[in-house]
Amino acid sequence: MPAPPDPSRDLQARHAELRARYADLQARGLRLDMTRGKPSPEQLDLSEGLLALPGNRDHRAESGEDARNYGGVQGLAEVRALFSGVLGAPPEQIAVGNNSSLALMHDCIAYALLKGVPGGAAPWSREEIRFICPVPGYDRHFALCETYGIGMLSVPMTPRGPDMDAVEDLARDPAVRGMWAVPQYANPGGETYDDETVARLAGMATGAPDFRLFWDNAYALHHLTDRRPALRNILEACAAAGRPDRPLVFASTSKVTLAGAGLAFLAASPANLRWYLACAGKRSIGPDKLNQLRHARFLRDAGGLERLMEGHRRLLAPKFRAVTDALARALAGTGAARWSEPAGGYFVLLEVPDGCASRVVELAAGCGLALTPAGATHPYGRDPRDRTLRLAPSYPSLGEVEAAAEVIALCTLLAAAENRQA
């Protein structure tokens, strides 16, 4: 992102004009929603073909097992092979869950709290524990920690990934058992961790022998441009550093096929995978293998996955451009904001002057635009500088996104102008 916001005096002078434009917007009676990164109906339509599959009494997996029946807690071999490249792990180190990788993250945390993890002396719940949280980050990661009483330690994101000096410092504390990471096209900043960051995360000393890196690679396939930053393989990096059990890698097809009916994945070291399957095997007699078969038939191979993602990109890229173009038109040179121009993922990060983010959300609501609450990008919902906003342009139509972006730009200017007057 360009230089930090420094609202100019011009904005103060424009206050009356901005107020008048705001009143005009209010009169338009808009009803817009940019709160959550959901796929649009057109994106879901790309996978409509899934719903007719497997069909024609096609319910035998490659192994000969009947996908309609119980069992197969690790998931079908052909699906694990299909996603092996995305996850950066051999099929035998992958488990396929039902929809929602968040559910897998939840379960890993719950199992760790109740039973402990390989290499640990006791269940995590026996002590006060903490997670390192790159900030801004994903609100549901933070909510998971909060609901289970796991303390959160914020570290700032940089364009290369989390501030690694701060991470290494915090990781020395034995109470620090985990860290969240969205390593590719991070939610919400869009950053991809560079090679040095991945190497340092793999190699760093931790006070806890059972420290786990929750590597949530939710946006591994979600390119918006031809710039495709390569992410170093964390499982290989950790194994090479002698810490094969450090990472738990998560991904899903929520934003590939159907958000409510996709597949979720965990990839991990052999010891971690055995641990997970032993726990998961108590929880359920097996996942929905028909849905796995359906995905194998629909996607076919890595080329099929790529073609589908190209379809998403065609729908999404114009919406992201509409947001960043509108912000540039209205805000460039005003010093009232800076914003990300993500090469992938689902969000645009907007940084407004300190103390203005909640006011922008309030002003936007006043003219019919719902935004993610200010603070959602920070642990406990508290952004100490009240300056970070997450914009989610995927779900509304292109026309709605264009209208919403105008509203956001105007509300940002108005909030900055009010701030100057205060």
Binder of ligand PLP out of 94, 182, 337, 417 (CB under 6 A): 182
Site residue total, ligand PLP (CB under 6 A): 13
The residue (of 22 and 265) whose beta carbon lies closer to ligand PLP is 265
| Residues from 130 through 169 that contact ligand PLP (CB under 6 A) | 138
Binder of ligand PLP out of 194, 210, 216, 351 (CB under 6 A): 216
The residue (of 191 and 216) whose beta carbon lies closer to ligand PLP is 216
Query: Is 180 near ligand PLP (CB under 6 A)?
Result: no
Min dist. Cβ of residue 187 to ligand PLP (A): 4
The residue (of 91 and 134) whose beta carbon lies closer to ligand PLP is 134
Stretch that binds ligand PLP, among 62-70, 86-94, 99-107, 115-123 (CB under 6 A): 99-107
As a whole number of angstroms, the distance between CA 151 and CA 139 comes to: 14
Q: In what order do the strands lie in the sheet with 388-391?
A: 338-339, 348-351, 388-391
Query: Is 221 near ligand PLP (CB under 6 A)?
Result: no
| Residues from 18 through 37 that contact ligand PLP (CB under 6 A) | 37
Query: Is 193 near ligand PLP (CB under 6 A)?
Result: no
The residue (of 137 and 244) whose beta carbon lies closer to ligand PLP is 137
The residue (of 199 and 259) whose beta carbon lies closer to ligand PLP is 259
As a whole number of angstroms, the distance between CA 310 and CA 308 comes to: 5
- Residue 418 near residue 383 (C-beta atoms within 8 A): no
Query: Is 184 near ligand PLP (CB under 6 A)?
Result: no
User: Which 3-state string (H, E, C) describes the chain?
Assistant: CCCCCCCCHHHHHCHHHHHHHHHHHHHCCCCEEECCCCCCHHHHHCCHHHHHCCCCCCCECCCCCECCCCCCCCCCHHHHHHCHHHHCCCHHHEEEECCCHHHHHHHHHHHHHHHCCCCCCCCHHHCCCEEEEEECCCHHHHHHHHHCCCEEEEEEEECCEECHHHHHHHHCCCCEEEEEECCCCCCCCCCCCCHHHHHHHHHCCCCCCCCEEEEECCCCCCECCCCCCCCCCHHHHHHHCCCCCCEEEEEECCCCCCCCCCCEEEEECHHHHHHHHHHHHHHCCCCCHHHHHHHHHHHCCHHHHHHHHHHHHHHHHHHHHHHHHHHHHHHCCCCCCEECCCCECCCEEEECCCCCHHHHHHHHHHCCEEECCCCCCCHHHCCCCCCEEEECCCCCCHHHHHHHHHHHHHHHHHHHHHHHHC
Binder of ligand PLP out of 101, 292, 394, 412 (CB under 6 A): 101
Identify residue 251 by its one-letter amino acid code.
Answer: A
The residue (of 254 and 372) whose beta carbon lies closer to ligand PLP is 254
Min dist. Cβ of residue 86 to ligand PLP (A): 13
Binder of ligand PLP out of 12, 35, 98, 100 (CB under 6 A): 100
The residue (of 102 and 415) whose beta carbon lies closer to ligand PLP is 102
The residue (of 80 and 243) whose beta carbon lies closer to ligand PLP is 80
As a whole number of angstroms, the distance between CA 378 and CA 62 comes to: 45
The residue (of 111 and 180) whose beta carbon lies closer to ligand PLP is 180
Stretch that binds ligand PLP, among 49-57, 100-108, 146-154, 298-306 (CB under 6 A): 100-108
Query: Is 187 near ligand PLP (CB under 6 A)?
Result: yes
Query: Is 218 near ligand PLP (CB under 6 A)?
Result: yes
Query: Is 171 near ligand PLP (CB under 6 A)?
Result: no
| Residues from 239 through 268 that contact ligand PLP (CB under 6 A) | 252, 254, 259, 264
Q: Positive or negative, the Cα torsion across 141, 146, 150, 153?
A: positive
Stretch that binds ligand PLP, among 94-102, 124-132, 195-203, 383-391 (CB under 6 A): 94-102
Min dist. Cβ of residue 208 to ligand PLP (A): 24
Query: Is 348 near ligand PLP (CB under 6 A)?
Result: no
Q: How many residues does the chain have?
A: 422
The residue (of 224 and 417) whose beta carbon lies closer to ligand PLP is 224
Residues that bind ligand PLP (CB under 6 A): 37, 100-102, 138, 182, 187, 216, 218, 252, 254, 259, 264
